Amino acid sequence: MKKYIIRGNKTLSGNVRISGAKNSALKLMAASILANSKVTLQNVPDIEDVNTMAEVLKTLNAKVVFKPQKNRLEIDPSSINSFEAPYELVRKMRASVLVAGPLLSKFGRVKIAIPGGCNIGARQIDLHLKGFENLGAENYVEHGYINCAVKSDKAKVINSGSKLKGSIINLDFPSRGATENLMMAACMAEGKTVINNAARETETVDLANFLISMGAQIDRAGTDCIEINGVKTLKGTEYRIMPDSIEAGTFIIAASLCGSKVVIENAIWKNIEIFCLKLKEVGIDIESRGDNTIVVRRLANTLNTVYISTLPYPGFPTDLQPIIAVLLSVIPGISIITENVFENRFMYVDELNRMGANIKIDGHHAVIKGVKNLSGAPVKAFDLRAGAAMVLAGLAADGITEVSDIHHIQRGYENFESKLAGLGADISLVT
């Protein structure tokens, strides 16, 4: 079982370059299904989830070539002749659900394994399915699979030509996945679709820009009301994926915990503005240098406790909640984090408390009583961001920390340990 061994209390300094965004790359790979010819994606991170999404596309008989050393991925969807996303891949990675909208739009039907929950919550897809029904599909569950088909007797055969119909969709919650799946489904529907209460995340805008580069007609992406006018075909394209905001936030906290001066390149302040302003409130010396570079200096003076509430973009990102908790756990006084997006995103707290933190969970709130320092211990990664938080805690702790189950971390961080080591961290990967 692979794990990280970290010897804490090293000072970090120097430059680190952020990779392409996982939560954009996976959607653009799914959206490539819609094209009638080859798609080339640049700045694709070399991470496990990209390999899994490539497997899903190959299961559909798309041609996929990934050159990880060049972060370049080529997808030729013209050979796709299946509309079924298999259980073992959907179970492994929930984002596989995002092939549903493209398959439904292109072939008039899709069969997808029910993804099930994960460590941070139930992760329902009811909003996706309700939106498909708004667009003229019907859904039924059979043997652990959801079948969606455009309402017409022709939809039972592939390439039936049955088309979704544009509609007004009102989302109960600004779900990112539902917004993205429905935006992809609407691209080749007949007529106009309006998605109200849409997600506004920057990765969702990246997806819209990618679809537009294929010939889609999408307006007002990035607002809570996205308008899509269906077109007949979408063509192949070449597109560069945006940088990963959550990876940038992860390195910003690493620098806040034990950096002297760390320069984070390919980090867009606007995409994580609330998070950066919160760190200023804490008293961290953080500034944007304008050329998509963020500089963090660890100040000697005392840091301030803060209150944090996670919300959909542009609110404080839930994915950085476990990450900032590590910093707050060593700031004297009481900080409070309220998690409003997922129902179970405090799994990492028990592990952090084993390293000497003093955090109490009360429903959706984590009450953090700052301690002088953390001490190294063997801990587990429960999910992607909780795992990254354990690594950061190890960097700041006295002594040695072993982080196990690191496959969770390798799903979403490219060259994580070598980037940290490049800044001066004492971290090694052992199998």
Q: For ligand EPZ, what does the binding mask look like between residues 177 and 216, x meaning CB under 6 A?
A: xx--------------------------------------
Q: Which of 68, 121, 222, 399 binds ligand EPZ (CB under 6 A)?
A: 121
Q: Rule CB under 6 A: which of 35-94 touch ligand EPZ?
A: none
Q: How far is the CB of 412 from ligand EPZ (least distance, A)?
A: 6
Paired residues of 428 in beta bridges: 5
**CB closer to ligand EPZ out of 95 and 397:** 95
Q: How many residues interact with ligand EPZ (rule CB under 6 A)?
A: 24
Q: How far is the CB of 207 from ligand EPZ (least distance, A)?
A: 10
Stretch binding ligand EPZ (CB under 6 A), from 32-40, 118-126, 327-335, 371-379: 118-126
Q: Which of 107, 342, 348, 416 binds ligand EPZ (CB under 6 A)?
A: 342
Separation of alpha carbons 164 and 223, rounded Å: 24
Separation of alpha carbons 31 and 237, rounded Å: 11
Say whether residue 141 binds ligand EPZ (CB under 6 A). no
Q: How far is the CB of 343 from ligand EPZ (least distance, A)?
A: 6
Separation of alpha carbons 201 and 178, rounded Å: 12
Stretch binding ligand EPZ (CB under 6 A), from 57-65, 115-123, 182-190, 226-234: 115-123
Say whether residue 408 binds ligand EPZ (CB under 6 A). no
Stretch binding ligand EPZ (CB under 6 A), from 121-129, 160-168, 267-275, 368-376: 121-129
Using an 8 Å Cβ cutoff, are 236 and 39 in contact?
Answer: yes
Q: How far is the CB of 357 from ligand EPZ (least distance, A)?
A: 21
Residue with tokens 């694709």: 44
- Annotated active-site residue 148? The verdict is no
Interstrand relation of 259-265 and 285-288 (parallel, antiparallel or unpaired): unpaired
Q: Which of 173, 213, 402, 422 binds ligand EPZ (CB under 6 A)?
A: 173
Say whether residue 380 binds ligand EPZ (CB under 6 A). no
Q: For ligand EPZ, what does the binding mask look like between residues 224 and 243, x meaning CB under 6 A?
A: --------------------
Say whether residue 319 binds ligand EPZ (CB under 6 A). yes
Tokens read off for 193: 């679709």
Q: How far is the CB of 265 from ligand EPZ (least distance, A)?
A: 21
Stretch binding ligand EPZ (CB under 6 A), from 63-71, 175-183, 213-221, 224-232: 175-183
Stretch binding ligand EPZ (CB under 6 A), from 120-128, 153-161, 413-421, 423-431: 120-128
Q: How far is the CB of 74 from ligand EPZ (least distance, A)?
A: 22
Q: Nearest to ligand EPZ by Cβ — which residue?
A: 177
Look at residues 424, 330, 404 and name the one whose alpha carbon lies nearest to residue 374.
330
Q: Which of 12, 16, 125, 327 binds ligand EPZ (CB under 6 A)?
A: 125
Say whether residue 298 binds ligand EPZ (CB under 6 A). no
Binding site for ligand EPZ (CB under 6 A): 22-23, 26, 95, 121-128, 173, 175-178, 318-319, 341-342, 384-385, 412
Residues annotated as part of the active site: 118
